[in-house]
Amino acid sequence: MTDEVFIIAAYGMIVLLGLLISLVVGVVLWVSIAYVIDIRQTRHTVRRNFPVIGRFRYFFEHLGEFFRQYFFAMDREEMPFNRAERSWVYRAAKKENTTIAFGSTRRLDVPGTIIFVNSPFPALKHDFAEVQPITIGKHCRTPYVTSSLINISGMSYGALSAPAVRALSKGAKKAGCWMNTGEGGLSPYHLEGGCDIVFQIGTAKYGVRNELGQLDDDKLHAIAAHEQVRMIEIKLSQGAKPGKGGILPGEKVTAEIAAIRHIPAGEDSISPNGHPEIRSVDDLLDMIGHVRDVTGKPTGFKTVLGDVGWIRDLCRAIQQRGPESAPDFITLDGAEGGTGAAPQALMDYMGLPLVQALPMLVDVLDEFGMRPRIRVICSGKLITPDRVAWALCVGADFVTSARGFMFALGCIQSFQCNKNTCPTGITTHNPRLQRGLVPADKAERVAHFVETMVQEVGVIAHSCGVDEPRKLTRHHARMVQPNGEAKLLSDLYGSDQFHPGAEFEFAE
C-alpha cells in the first residue's frame, strides 16, 4: 500500500513538473516572439525601445481607469459623475436609505455651487400637494397632459441593448413618466412596456425615411398612430456632439436595428450633422408645422445653445406667423450631455453648459411672452434632486435624464458606451453580456429612481416653503460666486416672469 501511494505521489510530481516546464517554455516562447515583434515593428516607440516590457504600459494604462474609480478617487472627484452622485442613484433605484451621516462631503465655497433658500416656515405635511398636470400642445388635435417631473431622455435602440430598452419602457410605465426613443426609430421594445413615448426625428430620419433619406409622411403617420406615441421631437443637436449627427458603429447595426432604421445592416450608421431642409428659423417652423399636421400631436425640437440670437429670431418669426405656429416645446440639452459616441473636440468644447443656457433660453421666451405656449424641457447631468430642483427654479417645466436612468439600470461608468463591450449589458449587443441585465428586475429600479427623485425634490420644495416642486422660483436658490458670496438666482438672472405654478395667456 505504501508503494502504491509512493508511486501515485511520484506520478503526480512528474505531471506537476511537466506542467511547470510547459508553462516556463510557453512563457519563454511568448517573450521571445513578443521581443522579435516589438523590436522590428515601427508603430510604437515605447515597445520598440523597450521590447516586451513596453507592452505593460498599455495594460496598466487600461487598468488605471478602474483603479482610480474604485481605490484612489475621492467621493466627489470623478468626472463626469462622481461616486457620491452614482451612489445616490444606486440607492434610490434599489429603494434603499438615501440619508447620510456626520455631515456633507460637498464643498460649499466652490463657484457655481447651488444653495437652496430654506424658509423659516416650511410647508407642512398636510399642505403637501401632488405634482400638478401640465398640458403640452393644447392647440393640437391630440394634446398631451402629464404630471411627470423627470423623464427618460433620448437613447436609441442600437445605442442601447434590447433588454435595456425593455427595462426602461416597463419602468417608465410603472413610474408614469415618458420615454424618448432617441433618433434610432421606434422599436417593439419601446412599446412593450406600455409607457408614454416621445418619438424623436433625427437628422437621418431613422424609422420615417424614404430611400433618399427624406421624411416619409406615410411612415410618420404610421408611427404617430400608436396611442403610446404622445409627442414628436425634431432633433437639431444634442449635448454630446452639437453640430454632428449620431454615430452607431457597424458592429452594432444588427439586421433588426437596420430594419427599424431602414438602413443596411453591418454598416456604420452615421447621421448627417443637420437637417438639409432646415436651414433657418422659418424652415424650422415650417417643419414643425408639417409634422404636427401629419401627426396631430405636440411637436417641438431639441437643441444645444451656443447663443440665443437665433432663439430671438425664432420668437420674432412666431409673432409674425401667430402663436399656433410655435413649437409646443423646446428640449434644451446642456453641453455636458454625453451618452452618445462623439468626437472629443465636440464633447469637450462645443456648446453652453445647462447652467448658462437654461436661464438664457427661459429669459428670451419670457421676453417675447412665449410661455406657457412653449414648454421648456431640459437635460444635462440632472441625476440628483438638487440638480432637478435647480432646473425647476430657473424655469424648466420638465427634466429629462439619460445617464441617470443608465445608472438606475446598473451602469458602472466603465466608459465602454461607444464599443460593443459594456460589462453591464446596457450598451452592447453581445448576448453573453446582455444576459446579466434582467428587464423585470431593472424596471423596478427605474420606477424606484423616479419615485425617490420626485419625493426628494419635493423635500427641497417643502423646505423652501412651497407645497409642490413646480412652484420653485429663482428666489428659492442661490449660486456661489467667485468672491464666495451666494447670490439669489433672481439677482443673477432676473426674476422668472412665468413658472408652471402660474399660467398666463400667450402674448400676441
| Mean pLDDT computed over 384-401 | 95
- pLDDT of residue 388 exceeding 50: yes
The whole-number pLDDT of residue 121 equals: 86
174 and 322 in a single domain? The answer is: yes
Same structural domain, 59 and 157: no
Within-domain flag for 499:
no
Task: Give domain status of residue 489, yes or no.
Answer: no
Q: If you search the block for the grid coordinates 425634490, which residue do you land on?
A: 457
416 and 308 in a common domain: yes
CB burial of residue 300 (10 Å; 0-12, 13-18, 19+): buried
For residue 243 the three cell numbers come to: 453640430
Residue 91 corresponds to which amino acid?
R
329, 418: one domain: yes
CA 192 to CA 187: how far, in whole Å? 9
Same domain, 57 and 154: no
Using 50, 70 and 90 to split pLDDT, how confident is the model at 265?
confident
Is it the case that residue 241 has pLDDT exceeding 80?
A: no
Q: Is the predicted pLDDT of residue 445 greater than 80, yes or no?
A: yes
**Cα–chain center distance at 400:** 8
pLDDT score of 434 more than 90:
no
Instruction: Report the first-to-last Cα separation within the chain, whole angstroms.
Output: 106
Beta bridge partners of 152: 179, 401
pLDDT at residue 108 in the model: 83
The domain of 411 spans 149-446
Whether 63 has a pLDDT exceeding 90, the answer reads no
By mean pLDDT, which of 151-165, 364-378, 385-399 is the weakest?
Answer: 151-165
* pLDDT tens column, 399-432: 999 988 988 988 877 777 767 778 888 888 788 8
Q: Total domain count for the chain?
A: 2
Look at residue 264 in the predicted model and tell me its pLDDT: 84
pLDDT above 50 for 508: no
| Whether residue 68 is found in the same domain as residue 155 | no
For the segment 77-84, the average pLDDT, to the nearest whole number, is 66
Q: Is residue 238 part of a domain?
A: yes
Listed residue (217, 177, 104, 92) closest to 377, CA to CA: 177
Q: Residue 471 domain-assigned? A: no
Whether residue 71 is predicted with pLDDT greater than 60 in this model: the reply is no
What one-character-per-residue DSSP string does 341-376 give?
---HHHHHHSS--HHHHHHHHHHHHHHTT-TTTSEE
Coil, helix or strand at residue 111: coil
Q: Are residues 40 and 154 in the same domain?
A: no
Contacts of 340 (CB under 8 A, 6+ apart): 159, 238, 240, 241, 246, 247
Question: Of 421, 446, 471, which residue constitutes the final position of a domain?
Answer: 446
> How much is the average pLDDT of 86-108?
81
Q: Which residue has the cell 425615411?
A: 209
pLDDT score of 504: 37
The last residue of one of the domains, among 407, 424, 446, is 446
Residues 318 and 184 in one domain: yes
User: What does the pLDDT read at residue 195?
Assistant: 96
| Mean pLDDT, rounded, for 72-99 | 74
User: What pLDDT score was predicted for residue 24?
Assistant: 87
Report the alpha-carbon distance of residue 201 to residue 238 in Å, rounded.
12
**Cis ω on the peptide bond leading into residue 249 (within 30° of 0)?**
no
Q: In the chain, what percentage of residues exceed pLDDT 90?
A: 49
Q: Are 279 and 287 in contact (CB under 8 A)?
A: no
Residues 186 and 52 in one domain: no
Q: Is the pLDDT of residue 368 over 50?
A: yes
User: What is the spatial distance between Cα 32 and Cα 46, in angstroms, rounded to a whole number?
Assistant: 17
* Phi, psi angle pair for 309, to nearest 5°: -55, -40
Whether the predicted pLDDT of 136 surpasses 80: yes
Q: What is the mean pLDDT of the chain?
A: 86
Percent of the chain at pLDDT above 70?
87
Residues with Cβ < 8 Å from 459, sequence gap 6 or more? 385
198: β partners: 180, 231
pLDDT at 507 over 50: no
499: left (phi over 0), alpha (psi -120 to 50) or beta: beta
Q: How does residue 28 score in pLDDT terms, banded at 50, 70 and 90?
A: confident
pLDDT band at 7 (very low <50, low <70, confident <90, very high): confident
Q: Residue 462 domain-assigned?
A: no
Within a domain: residue 163? yes
pLDDT at 85: 81
Residue range 348-370: average pLDDT?
Answer: 91
CA–CA gap between residue 269 and residue 261 (Å, rounded): 9
Q: Is the pLDDT of residue 56 over 80?
A: no
| Per-residue pLDDT at 65 | 59
Q: Can you tell me the mean pLDDT for 207-218?
A: 91
Q: Would the pTM count as exceeding 0.85?
A: no
Are residues 309 and 179 part of one domain?
Answer: yes
pLDDT, average across residues 276-292? 96
CA dihedral 71, 73, 75, 78 (to 10 degrees): -130
Confidence of residue 60 (pLDDT cuts 50, 70, 90): low
SS3 breakdown of the chain: % helix, strand, coil, rounded to 5?
45, 10, 45
DSSP string computed for 37-52: HHHH--S-HHHHHSTT
| Residue 411 belongs to a domain | yes
Q: Please check whether residues 65 and 154 belong to one and the same domain.
A: no
Q: How confident is the model at residue 70 (pLDDT cuts 50, 70, 90)?
A: low
Give the pLDDT score at 501: 53
Q: For residue 338, what pLDDT is reported?
A: 65
Which of 72, 88, 105 is at the close of a domain? 72
Report whether pLDDT(465) > 50: yes
Q: Is residue 86 part of a domain?
A: no
User: Which of 26-40, 90-104, 216-230 is the least confident region?
Assistant: 90-104
67 and 179 co-located in one domain:
no
Please, are residues 344 and 392 in contact by the beta-carbon 8 Å criterion? Answer: no
Q: Among 163-172, 256-265, 381-390, whose mean pLDDT is lowest?
A: 256-265
Residue type, 374: I
The predicted-structure confidence for 311-353, as pLDDT tens digits, reads as follows: 999 999 999 999 999 999 999 998 876 666 667 767 677 788 9
Q: Is 18 exposed, middle or buried (0-12, 13-18, 19+ CB in 10 A)?
A: exposed
Asked whether 181 and 190 are in contact (CB, 8 A), the reply is yes
Give pLDDT, residue 369: 94
User: Between residues 281 and 437, which one has the greater pLDDT?
Assistant: 281
More confident residue, 197 or 156: 197
Identify the helix (H) or strand (E) that includes residue 292: helix 281-295
CATH number at residue 315: 3.20.20.70
